[in-house]
Amino acid sequence: MTAERLVVVGGDAAGMAAASQARRLRKPDELTITAFERSHFTSYSACGIPYWVGGVVDGPDALIARTAEEHRSRDIDLRMRTEVTELDLDRGRVRARALDDGGREYWTGFDKLVLATGARPRRPDLPGIDAPGVHGVQNLDDGQALLDTLEKSAGRRAVVVGAGYIGVEMAEALIRRGYGVTVLEQSPQPMTTLDPDMGALVHEAMCGMGIETVRGATVTGVLTDGGGRARAVTTEDAEYPADVVVLGMGVRPETTLAAAAGLPLGDAGGLLTDLAMRVRGHDHIWAGGDCVEVLDLVSGRTRHIALGTHANKHGQVIGANVGGGYATFPGVVGTAVSKVCDLEIARTGLLEREAHAAGLRFVTATIEATGRAGYYPGARPLHVKMLAERRTGRLLGVQIVGHEGAGKRVDIAAVALTAGMTVEQMTALDLGYAPPFSPVWDPVLVAARKASGAVRAAGG
Amino acid sequence: MTAERLVVVGGDAAGMAAASQARRLRKPDELTITAFERSHFTSYSACGIPYWVGGVVDGPDALIARTAEEHRSRDIDLRMRTEVTELDLDRGRVRARALDDGGREYWTGFDKLVLATGARPRRPDLPGIDAPGVHGVQNLDDGQALLDTLEKSAGRRAVVVGAGYIGVEMAEALIRRGYGVTVLEQSPQPMTTLDPDMGALVHEAMCGMGIETVRGATVTGVLTDGGGRARAVTTEDAEYPADVVVLGMGVRPETTLAAAAGLPLGDAGGLLTDLAMRVRGHDHIWAGGDCVEVLDLVSGRTRHIALGTHANKHGQVIGANVGGGYATFPGVVGTAVSKVCDLEIARTGLLEREAHAAGLRFVTATIEATGRAGYYPGARPLHVKMLAERRTGRLLGVQIVGHEGAGKRVDIAAVALTAGMTVEQMTALDLGYAPPFSPVWDPVLVAARKASGAVRAAGG
């Protein structure tokens, strides 16, 4: 029997988790595994980059879950600094270019293919945007390049473009590095992954942290100095001096190869898969991680969410299926958690605009409580916003902004969303209570009670 | 129209939440409310007592959610230091004794009755157990009495009898007060609300905190000094000098009155109610809080769980129903969370012995992980044990012992239990992920994966 040939494109979480899991299930004489990674790093935590840049964690080694050598010792033929430049699905082969070998190109055949090409930072087509000193932070190479810039930089002014997760985390990192940080956000509030009323709480807190946050700021370009390096960011109204510019405008699925090969893409540009993570219409091609769209269990639509935790799950599922086992990825409810300094920010389910777009009618309830019993030291404000469907009372989404204990509380709602609970059912949840952990009514219960009342008050 | 008469026996969480909610729904000319409380305090957080004793929070005022005056200003006739001594259900009246008025006794009639008589600490019938210097910690009067003893005490040796929630919390409180603390626990491990293997982790940690924990210690009595005050606790094997003794052996439902009136009690001695919290077989009598048994949704049996969060929910439900609204308390899944110094201890669902007793066959999975990404500062060990039913794979219980972020993670499992999820379904939960909050696989997901594998491996 000839061994089957598995080719994996992309050597970060999804790709290498798939390779590792497949290897656990199938021996090398049954399945050969070749993986291509164009950067210098494999199986790393991109989510850790802001903490590496901020000096909170050592890098880049600490951020690497498994090195190339470790993968190779498990009989995975991992080719680093090798970019796949074409998928030839008809002949079952991929073309690779060895970046450190003079760009040498060659074809590698496959019986099964895993696409894990990740995402690329949004980089608007503006004058100066490619100047030295302007950095995305998508992979460890990016992180290293940014750190090099910071070390060489004489000044201490940083501009972060975009106030999403990466934007606020990078703002904190640069504050830690001693930079004066200005965050430019096009929207009326930072964190457009929250509703504006909750984003306003983040804005207020960021101001208190000494992070200048300019809202409604449309970036028009990057000005450069005589040496061609970035020296300022311009908006329609103003100019912000910058010794370093960080782009935190989110990411898009990296599906250039897939698109060229005619594979199915969704509205957000991500690959579309079935529940076993097979590319739709292609029995022998799987895709996972930041290059795919996932099913949103609340709205019933696919959406693009770049998150390491999903990528790892995808890889696990793909590896099981490629290896002859069985696993599925049922979808997401849109949970995300982040922090900027000591402010925790979390959401799950749908925002108001997302619920509207899904055709849902709903009520909202917003409450302020504390994360611990009010009399317990360290009890600090915590805001919960809850959306519930009219008539059914089904939970649609939760947003939480607050201090210690705020972020992971969103998990309560994530599980409730997955289970299709109503907010009335949630009022009876048996959540952990003790004064250092929660008030006698957990803030999520308080919000559920208020939302439940709003559902009843709204009638039909 | 004559106003209906509501009588509430017991003025803490359940009783006063019921009274307050009923008052919100019905005006004084529709419903009169008379509430009796035998202690000096009302609507207080008994769970806060260990933190008051430990000097972490001020007391007793900070622990009082609503004072007697506040209740009275809402047209609730609250009679403090007044003990109800008899329920006369045939004639619809209760007999009360005014403790501060020479023990004057009188009858008060009711149309509707709420029993919220709470619980009483277990106090074994042993020589010396009632000596001065031996303290239970059930209500604020108890807390004040203990603090008085501590202030008068010249020595600095404390013995805590029982290593359950109250026992370990009081151990921490006494350590904070500068006492050398010995905890005597009859069982092979502390925290019998956990399985022994998880309790062993707590024992290990308590030793590291300088809390001497003697396991398998059967207390035989309390020795007293010439003045009759406690001076030592004796076990079958040894004698432990003590300037103060704290009983942390758990509580029993206080249902003396209810039993005398022939109301239905369960195996644990608590009142049995329907889902609207009406005492079974009695349309006009409700009961809630620490004096009732609640339906355990996992085992299908009633059990006694004394917890302020349940008491508050019961009160809310009773008040709604008494006031002409509608609400139910569907039951609990047995969630509890606590801490001793920086060790967090949590459980939900069934322990191994409880699952056996319920006739369930199950597998277990135990994992060690960290509460944050391994590379993030402050990442510390966290142990999760999970029980899942054979064949169905349904989650039966979770226990967590670990550091920051361990305790409230149990809420994930509490919601999953409520929803009847399988451990396989749990492996796909979309939980909040970012390095400061969780590893890329949340510890609960890691445990669910292992448990899911164990279910498959166990076959039928």
Mean pLDDT of chain A: 96
pLDDT at A459: 87
Q: Is residue B142 pLDDT above 90, yes or no?
A: yes
Nearest to B338 among A313, A427, A434 (CB): A434
CB < 8 Å from B in window 45-104 of A: 45, 47-48, 51, 56-58, 62-63
pLDDT at A460: 67
Residues from chain A that touch B294, judged by Cβ atoms under 8 A, are none
Q: What is the pLDDT of residues A359-406, one digit of tens each?
A: 999 999 999 999 999 999 989 999 999 999 999 999 999 999 999 999
* Interface test with chain B among A430, A431, A452, by most B beta carbons within 10 Å: A430
Instruction: Compute the count of residue pairs across chains A and B with CB atoms less than 8 Å apart.
Output: 206
Q: What is the mean pLDDT of residues B117-137?
A: 94
Task: Write down the H helix ranges in B220-323.
Answer: 256-260, 308-322
pLDDT at B1: 66
Q: Is residue B374 pLDDT above 80, yes or no?
A: yes
Q: What is the mean pLDDT of residues B48-64?
A: 92
Q: What is the mean pLDDT of residues B115-123?
A: 94
CA distance A346 to chain B (A): 8
Nearest to B408 among A45, A405, A419 (CB): A405
Residues from chain A that touch B441, judged by Cβ atoms under 8 A, are 309, 312
Q: How many CB atoms are closer than 10 A to CB B357?
A: 12
Chain B within 8 Å of A408 (Cβ-Cβ)? Answer: yes
Q: Is residue B92 pLDDT above 70, yes or no?
A: yes
Q: What is the mean pLDDT of residues B359-380?
A: 95
Cα B188–Cα B423–Cα B418 angle in degrees, nearest 5: 85
Q: Is residue B460 pLDDT above 70, yes or no?
A: no
Q: Is residue A132 pLDDT above 90, yes or no?
A: yes
Nearest to A430 among B333, B429, B433 (CB): B333
Q: A185 and A217 in contact (C-beta within 8 Å)?
A: yes
CA distance A311 to chain B (A): 9
pLDDT at B154: 85
Chain A within 8 Å of B410 (Cβ-Cβ)? Answer: yes
Residues from chain A that touch B45, judged by Cβ atoms under 8 A, are 373, 375, 435, 440
Q: What is the mean pLDDT of residues A30-48?
A: 95
Closest residue, chain A, to B346 (C-alpha): A432
Task: Report CB contact under 8 Å: A428, B334.
Answer: no
Residues from chain A that touch B384, judged by Cβ atoms under 8 A, are none
Chain A within 8 Å of B407 (Cβ-Cβ)? Answer: yes
Residues from chain A that touch B419, judged by Cβ atoms under 8 A, are 415-416, 418-419, 421
CA distance A444 to chain B (A): 11
Task: Report CB contact under 8 Å: A408, B337.
Answer: no
Q: Is B341 a catalytic residue?
A: no
Residues from chain A that touch B346, judged by Cβ atoms under 8 A, are 432
Nearest to A329 among B344, B421, B428 (CB): B428
Task: Report CB contact under 8 Å: B339, A434.
Answer: yes
Computed on alpha carbons and rounded to an integer, the radius of gyration of chain B in Å comes to 23
Closest residue, chain A, to B371 (C-alpha): A408
From the list A47, A207, A291, A341, the catalytic residue is: A47
From the list B47, B207, B291, B341, the catalytic residue is: B47
pLDDT at A138: 87
Q: What is the pLDDT of residues A140-189, one digit of tens each?
A: 999 999 999 999 988 899 999 999 999 999 999 999 999 999 999 999 99
Chain A within 8 Å of B421 (Cβ-Cβ)? Answer: yes
Residues from chain A that touch B437, judged by Cβ atoms under 8 A, are 337, 339, 344, 407-408
Chain B within 8 Å of A377 (Cβ-Cβ)? Answer: yes
Q: Would you give the DSSP letter of residue B228?
A: S
Task: Report CB contact under 8 Å: B51, A330.
Answer: no
Task: Report CB contact under 8 Å: B346, A309.
Answer: no
Whole-complex ipTM: 0.96
Percent of chain B with pLDDT over 70: 100
Nearest to A407 among B333, B348, B437 (CB): B437
Q: What is the pLDDT of residues A8-20, one digit of tens each?
A: 999 999 999 999 9
Q: What is the mean pLDDT of residues A333-351?
A: 96
For chain A, the straight-line distance linking the first and the last C-alpha, in angstroms and rounded, comes to: 65
* Interface test with chain A among B376, B430, B431, by most A beta carbons within 10 Å: B430
Q: What is the pLDDT of residues B102-115, one digit of tens each?
A: 999 999 999 999 99
CB < 8 Å from A in window 164-193 of B: 165
CB < 8 Å from A in window 252-291 of B: none
Chain B within 8 Å of A437 (Cβ-Cβ)? Answer: yes
Task: Report CB contact under 8 Å: A337, B48.
Answer: no
Task: Report CB contact under 8 Å: A416, B412.
Answer: no
Query: What is the three-state SS of chain A?
Result: CCCEEEEEECCCHHHHHHHHHHHHHCCCCCEEEEEECCCCCCCECHHHHHHHHCCCCCCCHHHECCCHHHHHHCCCEEECCEEEEEEECCCCEEEEEECCCCCEEEEEECCEEEECCCEEECCCCCCCCCCCCEECCCCHHHHHHHHHHHHHCCCCEEEEECCCHHHHHHHHHHHHCCCEEEEEECCCCCCCCCCHHHHHHHHHHHHHCCCEEEECCCEEEEEECCCCCEEEEEECCCEEECCEEEECCCEEECCHHHHHCCCCECCCCCECECCCCEECCCCCEEECHHHECEEECCCCCEECCCCHHHHHHHHHHHHHHHCCCCCCCCCECCCEEEEECCEEEEEEECCHHHHHHCCCCEEEEEEEEECCCCCCCCCCEEEEEEEEECCCCEEEEEEEEECCCCHHHHHHHHHHHHCCCEHHHHCCCCCCCCCCCCCCCCHHHHHHHHHHHHHHHHCC
Q: What is the pLDDT of residues B298-322, one digit of tens each?
A: 999 999 999 999 999 999 999 999 9
pLDDT at A233: 98
Chain B within 8 Å of A411 (Cβ-Cβ)? Answer: yes
Tell how strand B395-402 and strand B343-349 pair up.
antiparallel
Chain B within 8 Å of A337 (Cβ-Cβ)? Answer: yes
CA distance B283 to chain A (A): 23
CA distance B238 to chain A (A): 34
pLDDT at B459: 86
Residues from chain B that touch A345, judged by Cβ atoms under 8 A, are none
Q: Would you give the DSSP letter of residue B284?
A: T
Residues from chain B that touch A51, judged by Cβ atoms under 8 A, are 375-376, 435-436
Q: A27 and A76 in contact (C-beta within 8 Å)?
A: no
Instruction: Map out the domains of chain A with their CATH numbers.
Output: 4-120+252-322 (3.50.50.60), 123-249 (3.50.50.60), 336-454 (3.50.50.60)
pLDDT at B59: 81
Closest residue, chain A, to B50 (C-alpha): A435
